[in-house]
Structure 1
Amino acid sequence: MTSSDIYVTAAFKSVRQNEVYIFMQNEYVLCDYAPGKKYDKILYGPAHIGAVFSSLECTIFGELGITCAFASHDLGIAYIFSGNICAKWYYGLYSPNNKILEGPKLIVEMFPFLNGTVFANGIDAAFESSRPFEAYLFKGDQCARINYSANGQLINNAPIRQNWPCFKGTIFEHGIDASFASHNPHQAYVFKGDLYARIRFIPGVRFDVLISTGRIKDYWMGLQRILPRKNTIYCSNYN
């Protein structure tokens, strides 16, 4: 059993405008994140993942939590991760019909092209590109761009500071805890501990801009009231 300060461990945007699912290990909130403003609002939660999403109850995601996620370009579907395990998940859109479509399975079984990379044993953060069926992955100070379609491939793999010049000289060049793509085209949010940043990017081009950065407590009025979490993770069934 472990307990410590927990901030954002994963996130992905909903198909509903300006709504995002934010995970704090085995808890989550649904949030209206009010892009570019300080008026984010928690719409639901905090709640235990397994208590709300029946398909994740008694799975590694419900027990140990979700440590990375990104929304698919197939509506209502997300890829979720916990350690080196992942699943393709239909999250239900306010209905009780959430279900796991594929998995849980090893990352390298879901994405064979990641075998032999640092991402095979776990992914810290991810968000979908504005290009269909492409996503960005982060692990430590490394990042990758992938195509996750049926004919998926690893497009590139390099240090964060090389592929994302806007992070040079910031804490984010050394790693990212969580991220999600904004509903505003070509924008994304990243988190590390109690810090966040909003960026603008162009897929396939090293031309990215750090729009804003700061502490969660100063810019996220909804999240500041619940973070950090002190939830406890029981690890007895998942060694």
Structure 2
Amino acid sequence: MTTPLVTAAFRSSQRNQCYVFNNEKYVVLDYGRGFDKKTRVIGGPIHIADGFPMFANTPFAIGIDGSFDNDGNDTFFFKGDQCAKVDFAPDTGDSRLLMGPISITSMFPDLNANTPFATGLNAAMRSNTGKIVFLFSGPQVGSFDYETRRLEQTRSISDAFPQFVGTAFEFGLDAAFNTHDRNEVYIFKGEYYAHFNLVTSEFIGFIRKIRTDWPALKRII
């Protein structure tokens, strides 16, 4: 089993910026575009409890497993079997906890004990269409409609993303985030990452090592 270098990530409200977590610390960085190395740190390292004071004295203070945003400012965060809903407005200083932490099954009853997501997830990323978010738990991925809060389908990663077969991502992800071009995502597993196009279902460039291409993370990995 590989040790994650990136345990969670999500895009900032500022274009080409993202939050990247390794356990209880994170940095905000400029992920740019294309094949440029990620060298520019906007902020951090910061402890989660300092940057997100609503998570102090909660399970989220020691790490985040995954998150996704809706079409507004609301972001859902996951840690173990817990979920929290946050009005995420970091640039105004007005971020606030709207709900939770509560169990995932209380927040989203369709993610019940009959699904692999009731006890937690490893990563989440928005689809490029509709209100669908992909939830990853081990080798399983679910298509979840965050507006109706219905789990539409659960498949193996190899069925949902056949391009991942034979790669570091075939049996699970550690983290993922959508870029500000929602057709594209970055995915992370162990020491590797990739840039992926959701429309063409193709990797953009090659699968590469995080430590080589993301030097901005050197203070947390």
TM-score over 0.5 (shorter chain): yes
Query: What is the CA distance between 1:19 and its match in structure 2?
Result: 0.9
Query: What is the CA distance between 1:119 and its match in structure 2?
Result: 0.7
2:91 partner amino acid: Y
Counterpart in the other structure of 1:231? none
**Count of matched residue pairs:** 216
Counterpart in the other structure of 1:235? none
Q: Is the 8 A contact 1:35 1:184 kept in 2?
A: no
Which 4+ runs in 1 deviate beyond 6 A? none
Query: What is the CA distance between 1:35 and its match in structure 2?
Result: 2.1
Q: How does 1:10-21 map to 2 (within 5 A)?
A: 10-21=8-19
TM (normalized to structure 1)?
A: 0.85
1:221 aligns to 2:208 (yes or no): no
Q: How does 1:8-47 map to 2 (within 5 A)?
A: 8-40=6-38, 41-47=40-46
- Mapped partners of 1:185, 1:92: distance in 2: 19
Counterpart in the other structure of 2:167? 170
Query: What is the CA distance between 1:132 and its match in structure 2?
Result: 4.1
Per-residue CA deviations over 1:187-213 (Å, capped at 9, x if unaligned) read 1111011110111113xxxx5112231
1:179 partner amino acid: A
Structure 2 unaligned segments of length 5 or more: list them.
none
- Mapped partners of 1:73, 1:130: distance in 2: 12
Superposition CA RMSD, Å: 1.6
Query: What is the CA distance between 1:73 and its match in structure 2?
Result: 1.9
- Mapped partners of 2:169, 2:4: distance in 1: 18
- Mapped partners of 2:131, 2:84: distance in 1: 16
Query: What is the CA distance between 1:25 and its match in structure 2?
Result: 1.6
Change (3 A) 1:6 1:191: closer
2:60 partner amino acid: F
- Quote the sequence identity (%): 34
Q: Is the 8 A contact 1:84 1:107 kept in 2?
A: yes
SS of aligned partner of 2:152: strand
Change (3 A) 1:6 1:164: closer
Query: What is the CA distance between 1:227 and its match in structure 2?
Result: 4.5
Q: Is the 8 A contact 1:13 1:71 kept in 2?
A: no
1:57 partner amino acid: A
Per-residue CA deviations over 1:94-136 (Å, capped at 9, x if unaligned) read 2332111111111111111111101110000001122343211
Query: What is the CA distance between 1:153 and its match in structure 2?
Result: 0.8
Query: What is the CA distance between 1:144 and its match in structure 2?
Result: 0.9
Counterpart in the other structure of 1:127? 125
Q: How does 1:192-207 map to 2 (within 5 A)?
A: 192-202=189-199
Per-residue CA deviations over 1:125-155 (Å, capped at 9, x if unaligned) read 0011223432111111110111011x22112
Per-residue CA deviations over 1:17-62 (Å, capped at 9, x if unaligned) read 1111111121111111012132422110011011122211112111
Per-residue CA deviations over 1:63-117 (Å, capped at 9, x if unaligned) read x21111122221x321111101011112322233211111111111111111110
- Mapped partners of 1:87, 1:153: distance in 2: 18
- Mapped partners of 1:172, 1:72: distance in 2: 25
- Mapped partners of 2:76, 2:17: distance in 1: 17
TM (normalized to structure 2)?
A: 0.92
SS of aligned partner of 2:15: coil
1:153 aligns to 2:150 (yes or no): yes
1:216 partner amino acid: I
- Mapped partners of 1:141, 1:130: distance in 2: 21
Which of 181, 185, 188 is the matching residue for 1:188?
A: 185
